[in-house]
């Protein structure tokens, strides 16, 4: 996925009220950008961090949207969690998601039952229904990426829905898109959200496929990369 227009460099002053971030552009002008990330953004909001902003469409309240932040040692992270589905959709269509090559009838935002939707639905080569939910991973601890970075009732609900679908005979896939380039394996942050950890363990036991793939993140665009390891141990505390 390539950004439609060149991103604009800036430095972070502060992020606040979840969806706002004050920035200073290279010419010294201070602006407020939209921060499309409701999570804690631990490790991504250090004052002075070099950021990359996308100009907003005409008529938007804020002139820029925050897309990428530079990390230590030349690494990058995508802070815009809304982009993960676009990146995965492109990779699924091109057959670049491990274990999900050759899908047919790929559709996005598919209703399962009234009030419940899944990010993607398709049919695999064996004619089996495939349901895919996508999560963007931005938290890093030691050399592990971790999800979630804050309590996610919605994410726990998604795991339970995937578990139900797996028990009913569908291929249910939880796909974690690693939205930062400095971690090569993934585990659940059970101390942050124990309920999510329990739902993760239950879903995996029910047959949900837990997959994670790296992302190449640059100011030009984001591309889904190679598979990474998902912790095989039980995630539930205690």
Give me the domains of the chain, ranges plus CATH numbers: 8-78 (2.40.50.580), 81-230 (3.40.1350.60)
- The predicted structure's pLDDT at residue 59: 76
Give CA–CA dist 130/209, Å, rounded: 11
Query: Measured over all CA atoms, what is the biggest interatomic distance in the chain, rounded to whole angstroms?
Result: 58
- The predicted structure's pLDDT at residue 143: 86
pLDDT band at 58 (very low <50, low <70, confident <90, very high): confident
Give yes or no for a cis peptide into 192 (omega within 30° of 0).
no
Q: Where are the alpha helices (DSSP H) in the chain?
A: 84-93, 153-167, 194-205
- Whole-number CA gyration radius for the chain: 18
What does pTM read for this prediction? Answer: 0.94
Give CA–CA dist 231/144, Å, rounded: 9
- The predicted structure's pLDDT at residue 237: 61
> Can you point out the beta strands (E) in the chain?
8-16, 20-25, 30-34, 50-55, 64-70, 76-78, 104-113, 116-123, 129-137, 139-141, 144-147, 171-178, 185-188, 209-217, 222-230
- The predicted structure's pLDDT at residue 145: 96
Give CA–CA dist 224/1, Å, rounded: 9
């Amino acid at each position: 996925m390539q950004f439609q227009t060149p991103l604009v460099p800036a430095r972070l002053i502060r992020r606040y009220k979840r969806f706002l971030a004050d920035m200073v552009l290279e010419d010294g002008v201070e602006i407020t950008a939209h921060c499309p990330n409701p999570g804690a953004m631990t490790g991504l909001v250090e004052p002075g961090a070099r950021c990359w902003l996308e100009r907003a469409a005409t008529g938007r309240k804020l002139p820029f949207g925050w897309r990428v932040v530079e990390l230590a040692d030349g690494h990058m992270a995508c802070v815009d969690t809304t982009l993960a589905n676009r990146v995965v959709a492109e990779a699924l269509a091109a057959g670049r998601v491990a274990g999900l090559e050759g899908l047919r009838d790929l559709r996005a935002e598919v209703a399962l039952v009234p009030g419940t939707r899944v990010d993607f639905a398709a049919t695999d080569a064996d004619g089996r229904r495939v349901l895919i939910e996508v999560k963007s991973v931005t938290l890093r601890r030691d050399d592990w990426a971790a999800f979630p970075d804050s309590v996610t009732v919605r994410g726990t609900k998604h795991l339970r829905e995937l578990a139900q679908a797996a028990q009913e005979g569908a291929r249910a896939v939880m796909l974690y898109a690693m939205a930062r380039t400095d971690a090569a394996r993934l585990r659940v942050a059970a101390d942050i959200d124990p309920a999510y950890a329990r739902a993760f363990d239950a879903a995996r036991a029910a047959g949900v496929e837990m997959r994670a793939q790296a992302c190449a993140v640059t100011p030009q665009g984001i591309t889904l990369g190679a598979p990474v390891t998902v912790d095989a141990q039980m995630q539930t505390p205690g």
